[in-house]
Amino acid sequence: MDISSVGVVGAGQMGNGIAHVFALAGYHVILTDVNEAALTNAIALIDRNIERQVTRGKVSAEDKAAAMSRIKTTLVLAEVGPCDLIIEAATERETVKQAIFEDLLPHLKPHTILTSNTSSISITRLASRTDRPEKFMGFHFMNPVPVMQLVELIRGIATDQETWDAMHAVVRKLGKTAASAEDFPAFIVNRILMPMINEAVYTLYEGVGSVKSIDESLKLGANHPMGPLELADFIGLDTCLAIMNVLHDGLADTKYRPCPLLTKYVEAGWLGRKTQRGFYDYRGETPVPTR
């Protein structure tokens, strides 16, 4: 299956990174969002991030110019329909994702492969709302996309072998490594990572340690590059909570119950770096713990 054009739905943190790596790998990319400012900001960020790669000698100036020329933006979702591959990278809410796929259906080519960058939602269930469950897969990139080497490939119950093989080939062309995951809540990475973050929030909630002591303990005691609360802020506390709820609802096990303190931070709108406050306050020159 020859894939040359890629549509990316959602120009946020994940979407712009996905557009970045596909354009550098030689694919023609159409990036769409409902917000024009998000598209403008995404192109500016991609330009800065590739320029950083040029400065470090990882990408040539010519490759950067070629990659940027391969990215187009649009506010019209239907314009990504004719692409060979579409990657949905919208917010982690199933109703939003379902609406996107339903709106895309009338505009797709017969061979178009649909994928979702969801970090936790059932691929089989999303696929069942389309006209091509056999050409539907989970295509889960890690954040930040240009840096992280792993891509989780998740096969729904109806995904055919041709689609599976095509996505493996795409991952190889991107210069990344594929991990095959079964379609169970949160797949592999988040099935392991999110309960660890949730337990760190419980450790804070129960007064076992402060934000600083918890993060320092995992960085220095377990050799993690970031502490779990710092990482939660980086991911987004709303995303962490959404994944914990998927785990809790999907597996019906109390060990996945979201910590009430995590829920409280999300209710307050303290979602981490993107809102300038989470377990740390980012409004000053250096982050300051909020508890």
User: Which of 122, 190, 198, 230 is flagged as catalytic?
Assistant: 190
Site of tokens 């199933």: 94
Active-site option among 5, 20, 117, 152: 152
Tokens of 93: 């809410």
Q: Which token pair is 110?
A: 């017969």
- pLDDT value, residue 107: 97
| Active-site option among 116, 117, 119, 120 | 119
Structure-token match 């990657």, residue found: 87
Local confidence pLDDT in tens for the 291 residues of the chain = 789 999 999 999 899 999 999 999 999 999 999 999 999 999 999 999 999 999 999 999 999 999 999 999 999 999 999 999 999 999 888 999 999 999 999 999 999 999 999 988 999 999 999 999 999 999 999 999 999 999 999 999 999 999 999 999 999 999 999 999 999 999 999 999 999 999 999 999 999 999 999 999 999 999 999 999 999 999 999 999 999 999 999 999 999 999 999 999 999 999 999 999 999 999 999 999 999
Q: What is the pLDDT of residue 52?
A: 96
Q: What is the CA radius of gyration of the chain?
A: 19
Question: Three-state DSSP class for 188?
Answer: coil
- pLDDT recorded at residue 1: 75
Tokens found for residue 53: 């790669």
Say what the pLDDT of residue 61 is.
97
Q: Can you say how many angstroms the Cα of residue 100 is from the centroid of all Cα atoms in its chain?
A: 16
Compute CA distances 260 → 203, 267, 287, whole Å.
12, 10, 23
- Where do the domains of the chain lie, and which CATH numbers do they carry? 5-181 (3.40.50.720), 190-289 (1.10.1040.10)
Residues 6+ positions from 132 with CB-CB distance below 8 Å: 108, 112, 114
Query: What is the pLDDT at residue 8?
Result: 98
Strands 280-281 and 288-289, sheet pairing: antiparallel
198 an active-site residue?
A: no
Catalytic residue list contains 223: no
How is residue 79 annotated by DSSP?
G
The catalytic residue among 16, 88, 140, 198 is 140
Instruction: Indicate the pTM of the whole model.
Output: 0.89
Determine whether 79 is an active site residue.
Answer: no
Asked if 140 is an active-site residue, the reply is: yes
pLDDT of residue 92: 86
